[in-house]
Amino acid sequence: MATGKVLLSVLAGVAAGTALGVLFAPEKGSETRRRIMRKGGDLKNQVGEWSEKGSQKLQAAKDEAQDLMDRGRARTDEQQKRDLKTT
């Protein structure tokens, strides 16, 4: 949940910076719009990369958790078998 808040904060900061940049831009409107479109495309690509990296890390964490659960179950099963033999 904290990662979502950080991402939202970053996006809000980018939006605020863009808005201030547009307000104080000394360029013609057509050039400003072109820059906004370019920056928006760059931001969209960056968010896509972050999303992909986050998905990969999440999948790696899920795989690791599953592996730990499987190993724990195997150890539990082994211990139960040993306990049954000694009983």
Round the average pLDDT of the chain to a whole number and report it.
85
- In b/e form, how buried is each residue of 45-57, taking b as 16+ CB within 10 angstroms? eeeeeeeeeeeee
* Inside any domain, residue 11: no
* Inside any domain, residue 4: no
Distance CA 13, CA 6 (A): 10
Q: What's the pTM?
A: 0.49
- The domain total for the chain is 1
- State the average pLDDT over residues 51-64: 93
* Inside any domain, residue 6: no
- pLDDT (0 to 100) of residue 9: 86
Q: What is the pLDDT of residues 13-52, one digit of tens each?
A: 888 887 777 777 777 778 877 887 888 888 888 888 988 9
Residue 40's domain comprises 16-86
